[in-house]
Structure 1
Amino acid sequence: MSFFAFQNPALLVLLAIWIPVGWLIRRAALRRLHAGRKLGGSTLPSSKWRDRLRLFALLLLLLAVARPGISPRRHSVTQSGRDVVFALDVSQSMLAQDAFPSRLEAAKNGIRDALDSFRSERVALVVYAGSANILCPLTHDYEFVRYMLDQATPRTVDFGGTTLLSATEKSVDNVFESERKGMQDLVVLTDGEEHGDQNQRVAEPLKETETGLLIVGIGDPTSGSRIPIESDSEEPTVLKHEGQVVITKLNETGLRELARLSDDATYISAGTSAFDLAGEYSRYAFDKPSAGTSGGETYVVYREVGPLLIAIALAALLAGELAKWFSSNRQASRGAFSVRPDATPPASLIVFVVSLSFSCIARGEDPAALSPFDQAIALQRDGKAVDALEIYGTLHSDSALTPAQASVVHFNEGLCHLSVAAEQAEADPRQALSQARIAQIRFLEACRMNSNFKRAAMQLDPTATLITEYIAQIEEEDERQQQLQQQMQDLLKLLEELKENQTELRESVPGRPSRNSRSKNQQQEKTPPDTVDAKTESQQFMQTQKNLHQEGVSIREIMQSLDQSLANPDAEQSSDSAISKRSNEPPEVSVLQEPLRLMDEAVAAQYSAIGKLQQRSTWPESRDQQLIAIRKIQEIIEMLSSNDSSDSDEGEWDDEADYDEMMEASESEEAMMSSMQGQGDFASGSAMQPLPVPNYSVEDILMEEQGSLQFRQQQRAKSNQANVEKDW
């Protein structure tokens, strides 16, 4: 590694233009001399110096383009250290003031002291109470960790309580990296209340991931302390439960039990006194392995000489132009002050040189970071925000970035996250909300690194408004899903009632006689015509069947309306222009296509049964049609409630008598089979229809699964919140 080097040596070929430029300047000087002699004049001595200064300035500019550098410095890309996640208990019991000024502030001060002693460790911050939130992922930016630590309060989590299991699962699943197993530590700062029942479950994931555990117990383990709460009144207010003042104590027994169950765990009882978390962690992590070695991958940064060369070139050009200006004035002034029009310095040349100098300075400011930054800016302008984010992510590890440059990187990264959120807002508002919250954090980081960065500060309010809109959109979507589920449950109830009523009517209609009775009747005379009682029963059966048919038609309309809501959830809010525009598009795929088809067959069978109930002789055929309707309705119920299909009661209609009736070879049976064939061939109707070709990618599947995971986590958090009796 030499003391001096050209960082763009390929650009030294531009020195070849210096020779023809010098020849042109020399030729122009000779022609001026020849023309002056013909006119009886003489050549100014300053012109020779001016030409020489111009050639000298051109040489310096050509050398500056090649970016000469001196005093090289070698920087390491990798840093050795462990991953440390601080799990901070922010439950209301941590507001107790037995430790100064409170348990929570004492824990924060301990984390701040540890951050002051860290050099190459990656640090993350997780807060927990009844649930857990990640305030800061693993990072080397300790200033940002301190900033997020100041924001940690009992309101940072969704609901109160004390559940270390949630913080452990959040850290293991979403913070720690599997490839760094054995080089990760979880530092828990808590008063230890209500941990005893879940100690075994807390220790299991830590054992599986080979994660170290350092527990710091804060609080008075004997007499305890009351919990102050905020109140509008001037008098201090303490937390009460069922009319009794809550006294919180340090649960040393539970914390020691947790340390005993874990393989690599240490418990420290800080009590109510100050503690040195930096020293305790240094002793705990002594001789433990760390990831990587310093200097494994390095890059060299030279101190730029180009700006100095550009400044000298500008001074030479300015000196040449001033010498020409003064010389021309002395020759032109004869008793009166006059200036030749062409004696002023050429402004275009100065502008060109200044712009070239600024370009060279910008290019030579940070060779390790600006080239990827330019690529990210180009991708961002082209609308490729995801690709730009990947490049911005690599710039955070560059230690050569100044705070002003780092703030610009965070600002542009926030804009990219907002672009991604805008693209995902309609399809997946939960993903859009996550992107918007990340953008808000990036803007806060930019403001923290550069307090005068007004553009980043101006983005905070619109981003907060956007987050509120996404939250409202998600709540609206959840409410719509609940309404659809309720409508589906109501539909199932209507189908169950229709099936029961249809089954009851079928059982009340007399069926065909058995085989023995039929053989006896064949030897006797034919059946006498219908009596008055038979006609009355027929009228009653027909009226009841008509009512059931009307119910089936109504249920079919409800199914169709529900199907339209599932296929096009925003149909009610669409304008006329949007509707006319969608009219030219292909129709939406019907979600309830198969249940609707079965319902059409069931309604058709009900209608056929009405006609066959007019005469007593066709009552058996009407029973067959009723059986078809019952079975179709049952299939619909099984489709709509797939999880409960095993609980469906088939005994109401699938009995031996009905089976014998359907298997008999009679004229009514042949009529029934012919009517079934009229609805479609059995083989073609039962054949499996081809599935549509999927039009989604792997990324779509992963995003959908991530959204589902977030939804399940929210639902689990809500259910856990309902079971919390003691929220401190």
Structure 2
Amino acid sequence: MASHCTMSSFTFQWPSALLLICLLIPISWMLRRARKQRKIILRSMGVERRTHRLLKDGLRLIAWALIALTIARPGYAPYYEATSQTGRDVVFALDVSQSMLARDVSPNRLEVAKQGIRDALDQFSNERVALIVYAGTASILCPLTYDYDFARYMLEQANPRTVDFGGTTLQSAVEKAVDQIFDPERNGVQDLLILTDGGDHGSQMERVETLLVESNTGLLVVGLGDPNNGSPILLPQEDGSLLTLEIDQQPVLTQLEDALLRNLSTTYPNAEYIAAETKPFHLGQLYNEYAADKSTLAGNANSGKLIYQEAAIFFLIPGLICLLLAERWSARSLGSSAIVLSLFFCGFPQASVRAETALHPLETDFDKTTLLIEGENYDEALETLNSIIEQCAYGQLSTEQMAASLFNRGLCLIKLSVQQAEQSPGGALELAKKARLAFLKSKAYKPDFERAGLRIELSSTWIQELKGLIEEEGNQASTDSSPQSSEETENESLDDYEDMYEDDYSELSESMPDSSYNEGDLAAGSSMQSLPAPNYTIEDILLEEKGNLQFRQQKRANANAAKVEKDY
């Protein structure tokens, strides 16, 4: 339906359910046959009295028809509801240089930037999103897509090793977005969101501005870090420890350097710079404010989702009344039926009770949660908190209540993580990450919540300890493994490989050239004896390859680092 003038003001949203009305014919036949059989039986017993069976059956048939119409979901007064607030293309450009590992914000600048992108993805509905990471060079981790789960997954992979070498060149990110992501046919509805700590080491800002003007790209830049005090760069090591980045035996201190970013926002009219610094922020809300007055390609009145006002209740109530009268038809039963109907209609308006009346159960849930946490029943407390947090979508929680709920949820997750640390370090690590995320969200809802900020730091420390514990267990397991168990694992792996490739080999052999005509040594060598089992397992091969990959990445990064003046 292209316009309101051609759109029906009344319709059935599930028209296939109207086929249920066709069942009225066999139902009426069965009811008529039952009436005749009943009369025959009563006459044989010498009973002659009116039973109102015809009226009751008529009410049953009317009830069936009305309920069938109810199931078909009748609707009226259609209108279009926008499926997105903007519908634009949004490319996130994430600075992954080593300076983003500074901890003047908790847990560090890079994780705060990632959380900002997660918040934006949670708020988006119909925007296409893409992800670029950049430092000395830029890489596309996620092309334009509506699959937000894939974008979240690729966001987790972002780290300083995902680019060839360090430094910070905003120009590389803009060129990558304009040349390989943006569509010229969608000029004017494409935005670039950059999260960085500034300190550009070689970009030509005139070139950046030219690219943005030519593609008519919107630019929103968020600056992270303390602009006044320098912070050391802490590099995570394989054993879970942190190493301070030094040059000439002096620690490198980094701070928010946003002079070029501020200048770009003043010279380019379609750009806006926001200095988040060390304060919490919600990237989704910042973008909505930035894009509030911007155009879309689907901004007409008939775009979006068609919504009808539900009219099923106007068929359901008469149907229930007819059914109730048919089953309770008698002078005595009609009195009780009237009572039931009056209670039904008195209870019906209560469905529109205002949400404020539901606050009393919420207060009870808060008290219950407090008692459960004090009693160390963290599993039950977590379930109660999850139900409370879910109600935030209905506007029943204030900002303070939401922050407190998320904070308590993080406490429960941390306690459960500590309890599982010895038995299952991997599970404890996942719980600890969820706890840190809960503390981050709590801090975002209430920026002056100091306890949440402290817990973010403590949970980050606990996560590093768990990673170290997992690393130690892995090393100990590889050391304690006996040759016999290694040989058994090796044989099982070889059997799996034989089963996996047995069918593939039979299919490939049919398509390969026949070599049976060969003679001499080649023909004699075709019947080879089975090779002895190697003295290493598949796990050893994968572990070695992983180490080689990390070595190649580090070697390439060190080689390319010489091309920039500052590799951080």
Which of 1 and 2 has higher RCO (CA within 8 Å, sep 6+)? 2
TM bucket (normalised to shorter chain) is 0.3 to 0.5
Rg comparison, structure with higher value: 1
Tell me the TM-score normalised to structure 1 length: 0.38
